[in-house]
Amino acid sequence: METILTGIRVNGELTLGNFLGALVPMVRLANAHNKNHNINIFVPDLHTIISDVDGDLQKNIIKSIKYYLAAGLEPNENVYIYRQSHVSAHSELNWILNCVANMGELSRMTQFKEKSEGKEHVGVGIFDYPVLMAADILLYDAKYVPVGEDQFQHIELTRNLAIRVNNRFDKEIFTLPAKTLDQAKFMGLDGGLRIRDLQNPEKKMSKSSKSENSKIMLSDDPKVAAKKIMSATTDSEANIKYDMFNQPGISNLLQIEALVNNVPLQEVISTWAGESRYGDLKQKVAESVQTFLETFQAKLDLIPDDIVYELLEAGENYANKVASAKLSTVQKAFNLR
Ligand code: TYM
């Protein structure tokens, strides 16, 4: 069976961008394919500590798993949930892949450049985290990795590292994850998904943004979130059209409207085609986001911790078996065994 796999760092609350860009697509794919695919959802806690953690990491981990359940993930025998640090093969393969990756390609990673720019002290973890991400994916031969557009470069890096190892030993040691455009198609999209900053829609919505009005957090008071949508930056075209390049603010609102209501983007675009009143669109999206958050937060509160611990126990048993078998294949190829 092919594997679909994803992870979301948990160094604090998630943004609506994390949620709509990665978590919701994963839940939809998982529910649609859990009969004939392995569904691996893991908490990249080792990735999380590359930057400061807001709040209690242990609590963040448990809450992040509840997010998937509250978003509708159906537990099933092919759905595995685990913590990265509880499967030591991730760290071990990370080291081996460090000896395959080169400084040049890692220095070119946009995320690394953005996170290190202007900083005097840049942690080695920030530099190396795409290699750990490659290990996360390759240990399980994952074919599909639902992530937002900002992570596409890391998927390409993962493919390159896998090709390098396979070529070196002239064997298919690793399964290549699908190319990023094929990943997007599998998610039912034309390209990568990037929810924009509400105040500066040229940029992606990011937790690190200083302005509270730029981002919606999953823990936001739903009414406050609605106000943030009402104050979103748009443009002066007076034409509601999906055009991320010329009208990123309006396009972002259309995108959010489609995703929170689980309807195709094309349908939302057609509904609003030819309309000019941005206030009406904002009102509608604000209501959708408010209702969505109210429902989501109410569901979240009802999920007990015990369910999460049971899922982790089963998931970590499975993950340790699969990952150590793959690690052993790699160790043999490198003549370490
Ligand atoms: P992270 O934790 O920074 O982000 C989690 C997921 O959220 C997506 N995302 C967005 N999508 C759309 N619009 C946005 N504004 C937006 N902001 C964030 C990200 O693309 C990502 O999918 N390295 C990864 C975590 C990771 C991982 C993995 C993912 C570690 N190992 C293996 C998949 C497979 C990261 O730091 O994502």
Q: Which residues of the chain have pLDDT under 70?
A: none
Provide the domain count of the chain. Answer: 2
Nearest CA to ligand 1 atom 31: 133
Q: Which residues contact 208 (CB under 8 A, 6 or more apart)?
A: none
Does one domain contain both 61 and 179?
yes
Supply the pLDDT for residue 190. 81
> Do the domain assignments include residue 201?
no
Does one domain contain both 63 and 157?
yes
Task: List pLDDT tens digits, range 32-67.
Answer: 999 999 999 999 999 999 988 889 999 999 999 999
Backbone angles phi, psi at 176, to 5 degrees: -80, 130
CA distances from 122 to 43, 112, 332 (A): 23, 9, 34
Rounded Cα distance, 328 and 313, in Å: 23
Does one domain contain both 32 and 164?
yes
Among 8, 64, 94, 143, which residue has the most ligand 1 atoms within 8 Å of its CB, making it the best to mutate?
8
Structural domain span for residue 176: 3-191+304-333
Q: What is the CATH number for 34?
A: 3.40.50.620
CA distances from 205 to 17, 178, 323 (A): 6, 26, 33
Q: Position 24: which residue type?
A: V
Supply the pLDDT for residue 51. 87
Supply the pLDDT for residue 12. 85
Q: Let me know if 207 is a catalytic residue.
A: yes
Supply the pLDDT for residue 208. 87
Looking from the CA of residue 196, the nearest atom of ligand 1 is: 15
> Three-state SS string across 60-112, please?
HHHHHHHHHHHCCCCCCCCEEEEEHHHCCHHHHHHHHHHCCCCHHHHHCCHHH
Give me the helix-helix angle, 248-261 and 265-272, nearest 10°.
120
Task: List pLDDT tens digits, range 137-174.
Answer: 999 999 999 999 999 999 999 999 999 999 999 999 99
Q: What is the CATH number for 254?
A: 1.10.240.10
